[in-house]
A and B are shown apart, each in its own frame.
Chain A
Amino acid sequence: MTKIIFENVTKIFGENIVINDISFICNDGEFFVILGPSGAGKTTIMNLIAGLEEPSKGHIYLSDKIINNIEPRYRNIAYAFENYSLYPHLNVYENISFPLKSPIRKGQFSKEQIDALVNEIATKFQIKELIDRNITQLSGGQRQRVALARALIRKPDVYLLDEAIAHLDAKLKHLTRAILKGFQRQKRITTIYATPDQLEAVALGDRIAVIDHGIMQQLDTSENIYKYPANIFVARLFGEPSMNIFNGKLFSKENKTLLNINGATLVVPDKAKEILGEKSIESQVIFGIRPADILIIKEGNINNYSNIVTGEIKLIEYFGDSFVYSIKFGDFFIKIKLEKELDMEINEKVNLQFDMDKIFIFDKSTEKRIWPQR
C-alpha cells in the first residue's frame, strides 16, 4: 500500500528553478503519468522520488513517511531509465536478474526462483529468445524491453518508468503498452511513468499530471483534461491535430453574446453568458475549437448568426483513416479533421460551420480556460 505525496516541492539547480512548488498525491496502485515536453522537469521528479536528487524545498512522502533524506537503496523503488542504463558486460539474463541478486536482497531468492522469475518476465515482454545475448548485440527496441523487464522483475513499493517504451516500433509499442498495463494492474504496484508523448499518456495513465517549465499545469484523467483543459498549453497538447486557437473579441448585441474572429461573427451559446459575466459585454479573449468540431459544407445559408465562415483550402494531409484540411480564413489557418475525403481541390473556396457547443474560451492574459465550465 504505497502512496506518493509531493508537498510543495521545489528543486533548484544553481539559479534554475527546475521544479516549482509542485504538489500531488499519487494513489496506491495507480498508474500515474507525468506528461510534458523535454526540459519540463519530468526526469527531475522521477529522480526526486528515487532519491537521486533531494528537494530544495517541500516534502516528499512515501505513504506517511517523509523520504526527503532517505538514501535510494532504502526506498524500495524500481527505476527504468530512458537511456536503459544496462550493464554492457552482462548478458540479458544477468541484467534482468541483477536486482534480485543485489547485496541488500542477498539470500532472498534461490537460483530456481530467479530462473523462474526471469523466465516469466522475459516471456511476458517477448524477449525470451534473447536471454543469452550480449547487450551490445541488441537493437534499441530490444534493449528497452530488457531495461523494462529488469525494472519490473521485483515487487517493489513503486515502479518509476522514464519513457520506458519510447523507442519501440509501432506494432511493438501497442503490444508492450498492453502487457505493461496488464502487468501493473495485476501486481497493483504504484507506478509513475514519464513521457513527452500525449498519445502514450492518454493510452496508459489512470491520471495524468501535465508539467511545463517545472510547474504543474493540470492533474486529472485524460477524459477530463480533454474536455476541460486548464489552459491553452494543455488544450493544444491534447488532441491530434492540435486545437485551433485564435484571438477573438466578445461583444453583446440583440441580447446575444457574439464573438468576432477575423471579421466574422460567431454566436456564443447562451449558457456561457453567465459564466463570462462582464467579459461578454466587450473583451478580448482567446477562442479555441478542435479540428473535429468544424464541418466543411458546400452550400450553406450564410447569414449573421449561422456560425458559417468562408475560407480557402490550402493543404490536405492524409493519415490513412482521416484527412486534415488546412483552410485559410483571413490571416488564420484553420485545421479541420475529417474521416472522408472531400471532392475538392487546393485553393477551392469552402464554407466552414463551427459547432459552437464545443468551443473553448480562454482568458487573454492568463491563458486559463473560462469556458466551458465543469
Chain B
Amino acid sequence: MPKVILKNLFKKYGNVLAVEDLNLEINDQEFFAILGPSGCGKSSTLRMIAGLEEITSGDIYFDETRVTDLPPAERDIALAFENYALYTHLNVYQNIAFPLKIRKIPLKEIDRQVRETAKFMQITDIFETNVKSLSGGQQQRVGVARALVRRPAVFLLDEPISHLEAKLKESMRTELMRIHNDLKVTTIYVTHDQAEAMSMADRICIMNLGKIQQVGTPKECYAKPANEFIAGFVGEPPMNILNASILGEDGRLKLEIFGEIINFPDQYMPVLKEVKGWQKGRTVRLGIRPTDIRCFKTKKEDNLIEGEVYFIESRNEGKFVLNVKIGDFYILVKTDGIFEPELNAKIYLKFIEDNIHLFDQDTGINLNRTARG
C-alpha cells in the first residue's frame, strides 16, 4: 500500500481559491480523515487525489510515482461516495462484480472475489436483491463492498455515512474501522462530522477556507488545538470561548473574566511571555471545555464565577449539559454525574486552570499550546 503525498496543491474554480497550497503526507496503511465545515475544500482535495478533478497546480504522488496527470482508472484507487452511486438496474451481486467485470477478469475469479468480499461485509444473503429495495445501511455496505472488491491501493471515502441515522452511523463507523483493521488499505476519509473523524482516524487534517488548520492525532487536535477555529470545531459539547483580559499582578499571571480573577498556572508563564505583544491589560480569547469546569451551589471559595442555571440538558447516565447564563453570555458545562443542578438557581463555576486555552484575539492562534504536556 502506498503513501499518498500532496505537494503544494492548489485548486481554483474561476476566481475562487478552493484549495490553497496543501501539503500532506498520508502514511502507508493509515486511516486518515480530512475534516472541515462545508466549503472548506476537503471534497475538492479528495477528488484531486482520485483524479476526478483537475489540479490547478501542485503534485500528487503515490509513493515515488507521480500520479498528477494519470486518469482515475490508472491510479489504483477505489471511491465510495455519500450517495453510493449504485447501479439501480443491477442486483447486489452484479453491483459488487461490476468493477471486476469491466477489467475482464475470468468469471470464476470474479465469483470468488465477490463472495469473499460480500462475506466480509455480511451481505451474502441479499445477493439477488435489487439495490433499490435495500435499506440505507445495506446500500452503504454494498457501496463499500463494490469499492473494496478489487483490493485497491488507496480507498477514498467522501462522507460515506453522514446522512445515516445516528444508530446506523454508530454501527457503520465500527464496521469501517474493522474493515480498515483487517485489510490495512491506506484510507482517506472526508467528513464534516468531528465525532466521526475523532473516533475513527489515526490522524486528522482539519481544513477551513481552503487551508490546512492542523494535522495531528485526534488526541492532539482535542487537547492541543492549534487555533480558535479548531478548538470550537472539535469536541461535543463544543468548547466555550470568551473574552478575557490579562492582569499581570504580583508576578503571577492572572486573567479577568466576567469581573472574576483567575490564576493562570505558572508553568505557562515563560511561553506566554515570549508571545509578541504580550502585556498587562491585553484582551485574549479564553477557551475552556465543558468538561473542564467544576460546579458549586455556594460560593465556597474565591474566584468562582457566578452564573444562573438557564437550561439543563439531560444526558443519559445521570449527566447533564448545563447552559449557564453569565450576564448575556452562555457557558456550557458538562456535569460529572454527581452534581444535581437546579433550574434558575445560582451556580458557581471553577475553570480548571490547567486546562485553559488562550487564543490570540486577532490571529486565533493558540498561545499556550506548546506548554501543554
Contact = CB atoms under 8 A, between A and B. Distances in A.
B208 to A, nearest CB: 13
B237 A174 contact: yes
Interface residues of A, number: 41
22 contacts: A37-B167, A170-B236, A174-B323, A177-B313, A178-B313, A182-B311, A196-B166, A198-B166, A199-B166, A202-B314, A203-B315, A222-B316, A223-B314, A239-B317, A315-B177, A317-B173, A317-B177, A318-B222, A319-B195, A320-B234, A320-B236, A333-B174
Contacts of B177: 315, 317
A240 B291 contact: no
A222 B236 contact: no
A359 interface: no
A242 B238 contact: no
Interface string A228-253: 00000000111111100000000000
Interface of B: 37, 165-167, 170-171, 173-174, 177-178, 181, 195, 198-200, 218-219, 222, 232, 234-238, 289, 291, 310-311, 313-317, 321, 323, 330, 332, 334
Given A317-B177, A320-B236, A178 B310 contact: yes
Given A242-B170, A317-B174, A317-B200, 10 more contacts: A170-B237, A171-B238, A175-B323, A178-B310, A178-B311, A199-B315, A239-B316, A314-B178, A320-B222, A326-B178
A178 B171 CA distance: 30
Contacts of A169: 37
Contacts of B315: 199, 202-203
A321 interface: yes
Nearest to A180: B311
B167 A177 contact: no
Interface of A: 37-38, 169-171, 174-175, 177-178, 181-182, 196-199, 202-204, 222-223, 226, 236-242, 292, 314-315, 317-321, 324, 326, 333, 335, 346
B199 A317 contact: yes
Contacts of B310: 178, 182
A170 B192 CA distance: 12
Nearest to B290: A321
Report, nearest first, the 3 A-B pairs whose CB atoms are least far apart.
Answer: A178-B311, A317-B199, A203-B313
Nearest to A337: B317
Given A174-B237, A315-B178, A197 B166 contact: yes
B167 A237 contact: yes
A171 B173 CA distance: 24
A240 B236 CA distance: 13
A223 B332 CA distance: 21
Contacts of B198: 318-320
A321 B334 contact: yes
A202 B170 contact: no
